[in-house]
């Protein structure tokens, strides 16, 4: 008995004249996601939910900005817990994250599914279109602050008043204000403006004088 042919066996015969071209498996580049969330259970659920989405990959997570940046600085978008920081610290913290070249989105809501839907809706605007290095890759010019100026900046930028800084350092209020003027002038000379207290906080974080997160309250 003759062996069954491929057609009889149900297999699809190959067209000998057909030329197999390259498969079109082009996929959008992975969007690298970072998450700062002070709620551990939501952080785990959100990480899992985002990693299940095509084109998304969570590369770093943390309960604070400082913790996130110790894991990775190569991210396309960062979800920042809107309840973790408020006021000046929130604005400065987001500015520090943007220095990595990532887009920063406020993380609002209690359910991972709702947050994922918001991220998916924002994907067209979030996907990087230029492979050029982001602003976080450019070296920052040093203002050349003295040791005393760094001490003043550390205390003043994290929320202390000029009077409080003066008492801490055993100098006059006028001396502290003079240091602050000189600090701002030095940053302006290297094209890193620090006209506001928020900007002073940001510069202090960028230069390693302060951590990206506010000091723990006691």
Alpha carbon distance 187, 203 (integer Å): 8
> How far lies 201's CA from each of 28, 62, 213, in Å?
37, 21, 10
80-99 pLDDT, tens digit per residue, is: 876 655 555 556 666 777 77
Categorize the per-residue pLDDT at 167 as very low, low, confident or very high, splitting at 50, 70 and 90: very high
Average pLDDT of span 52-67: 84
**Which residue range forms the structural domain that includes residue 187?**
147-206
| Final residue of a structural domain among 64, 93, 128 | 128
**CATH code for the domain in which residue 81 is found:** 3.40.50.2300
How is residue 160 written in tokens? 């202390």
DSSP secondary structure string for all residues of 90-107: HHHHHHHHHTTT-EEEEE
**CATH code for the domain in which residue 198 is found:** 1.10.10.10
Of 95, 94, 103, 99, nearest in space to 124 by CA = 103
4-40 pLDDT, tens digit per residue, is: 444 444 444 444 444 444 444 455 567 888 888 888 8
Kindly tell me if the per-residue pLDDT of 213 is higher than 80: no
Predicted local distance difference test score (pLDDT) of residue 12: 44
Share of residues in the chain with pLDDT > 70 (%) = 69
Let me know whether 152 and 99 are in one domain. Answer: no
Residue 217: inside a domain: no
| Final residue of a structural domain among 128, 163, 184 | 128
Predicted local distance difference test score (pLDDT) of residue 171: 94
Classify residue 53 as exposed, middle or buried by CB count within 10 Å of its CB (0-12, 13-18, 19+): middle
pTM above 0.75, yes or no: no
Q: What is the number of structural domains in the chain?
A: 2
């Amino acid at each position: 008995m003759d062996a069954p042919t491929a057609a009889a066996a149900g297999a699809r015969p190959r067209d000998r004249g057909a030329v197999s071209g390259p498969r079109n498996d082009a996929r959008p580049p992975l969007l690298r996601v970072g998450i700062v969330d002070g709620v551990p259970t939501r952080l785990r659920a959100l990480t899992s939910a985002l990693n299940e989405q095509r084109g998304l990959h969570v590369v770093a997570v943390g309960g604070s900005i400082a913790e996130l940046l110790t894991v990775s600085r190569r991210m396309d978008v960062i979800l920042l817990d809107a309840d973790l920081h408020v006021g000046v610290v929130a604005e400065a913290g987001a500015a520090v994250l943007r220095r990595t070249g990532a887009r920063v989105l406020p993380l609002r809501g209690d359910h991972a599914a709702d947050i994922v839907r918001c991220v998916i809706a924002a994907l067209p605007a979030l996907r990087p279109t230029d492979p050029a290095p982001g602003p976080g890759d450019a070296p920052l010019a040093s203002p050349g602050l003295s040791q005393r100026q760094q001490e003043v900046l550390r205390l003043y930028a994290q929320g202390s008043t000029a009077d409080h800084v003066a008492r801490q350092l055993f100098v006059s209020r006028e001396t502290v204000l003079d240091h602050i003027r000189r600090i701002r002038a030095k940053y302006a000379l290297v094209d890193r403006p620090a006209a506001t207290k928020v900007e002073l906080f940001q510069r202090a974080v960028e230069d390693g004088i302060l951590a990206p997160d506010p000091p723990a309250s006691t």
